[in-house]
Amino acid sequence: MKIATVRDFKAHATRYLHSREDVYVTRHGKTIAIVSPVPENSVQSALVEMRRMLQKSRLSKKEMLRLLDESRKEVYGR
């Protein structure tokens, strides 16, 4: 856990985010935000990576949705 003022967090956000620790952001000595890293094997992480891959692809929206639906059926068997 790290503690940073708003000013310090704004000035050094990249450093704090790369530390992969929770950062408690404070204003006038009171916590106003907690910034937490997303676990690498989480659903959120997978969705972000999927979005990046889809943005780089040249697939149509219809084709992307078809592939996502096929993946859902494979995972959930529906």
Range of 66's domain? 43-76
Mean per-residue pLDDT of the chain: 87
* 62-77: pLDDT as tens digits: 988 888 888 878 878 7
| pLDDT score of 57 | 85
| pLDDT value at residue 27 | 97
pLDDT for the residue numbered 78: 66
Total domains in the fold of the chain: 2
- The answer on pLDDT for 7 being more than 80 is yes
**Are 70 and 48 in a shared domain?**
yes
Q: Mean pLDDT throughout 13-17?
A: 92
Provide CB contacts within 8 A for 34, sequence distance 6+. Answer: 22, 23, 24, 25
Q: Where are the beta strands (DSSP E) in the chain?
A: 2-5, 23-27, 30-35
Q: Is the pTM of this model over 0.75?
A: no
Looking up tokens 């530390």 gives 19
| Burial 22-50, CB ≥16 within 10 A → b, else e | ebebbeeeeeeeeeeeeeeeeeeeeeeee
